């Protein structure tokens, strides 16, 4: 996501635009504080899927011991955010919905491996895709809301590929 950007209001916009100030706080003091959990979780998932897949046991252990616990902490962090404006609350709900779908997909992948039930792969992939699409929607709406209210990125710090590109199999 755009999570590794710091945001600032253009000129003195935050002083008069409540949404601009709320969005800036939401990103800088909220989302950025929990973003590392998401990054680590998704990177670990990508390290055991797709071209990085070694075997079921390795993927299962990564999901059980690392991916799912970290992702749950990330979601708890998002849920704990309390934006002041409806616009930013709505944005956060989109993000939470997307992350919950991804978490459900991770759980189904783990269950499919555990039970060796190939019929769980389709719903797992559907959840992962739904989560990816919702997180992309969050990003697009974030950019639109930021633009509308004069909230601009200060500096890109991310060195890795964007997180919304990392999901099942690193597709």
Q: Which are the contacts of 31, defined by CB distance < 8 A and separation ≥ 6?
A: 3, 78, 81, 95
pLDDT per residue rounded down to tens, the chain (171 residues): 444 445 555 444 555 789 999 999 999 889 999 999 999 999 999 999 999 999 999 999 999 999 999 999 999 999 999 999 999 999 999 999 999 999 999 999 999 999 999 999 999 999 999 999 999 999 999 999 998 998 876 544 444 444 433 333 333
What's the token pair of residue 112?
A: 């499919």
What b/e sequence results for 108-130 when a residue is b if at least 16 CB atoms lie within 10 Å of its CB, and e otherwise?
bbbebbeeeeeebeeebbebbbb
CA distances from 111 to 57, 114, 119, 121, 123 (A): 12, 5, 11, 9, 11
Beta bridge partners of 153: 7
Domain boundaries, the chain: 2-170
Query: What pLDDT sits at residue 29?
Result: 87
């Amino acid at each position: 996501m755009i999570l590794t950007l710091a945001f600032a209001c253009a000129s003195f916009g935050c002083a008069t635009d409540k949404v601009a100030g709320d969005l800036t706080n939401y990103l800088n003091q909220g989302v950025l504080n929990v973003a590392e959990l998401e990054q680590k979780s998704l990177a670990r998932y990508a390290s055991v899927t797709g071209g990085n897949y070694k075997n079921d046991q390795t993927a299962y252990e990564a999901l059980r011991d690392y991916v799912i616990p970290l992702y749950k902490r990330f979601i708890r962090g998002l849920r704990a955010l309390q934006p002041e404006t409806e616009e930013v609350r709505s944005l956060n709900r989109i993000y939470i919905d997307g992350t919950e779908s991804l978490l459900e997909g991770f759980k189904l992948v783990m269950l499919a491996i555990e039970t060796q039930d190939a019929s769980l792969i389709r719903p797992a992939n559907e959840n992962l895709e739904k989560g990816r699409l919702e997180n992309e929607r969050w990003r697009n709406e974030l950019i639109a809301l930021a633009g509308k209210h004069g909230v601009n990125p200060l500096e890109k710090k991310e060195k890795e590929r964007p997180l919304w590109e990392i999901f099942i199999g690193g597709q």
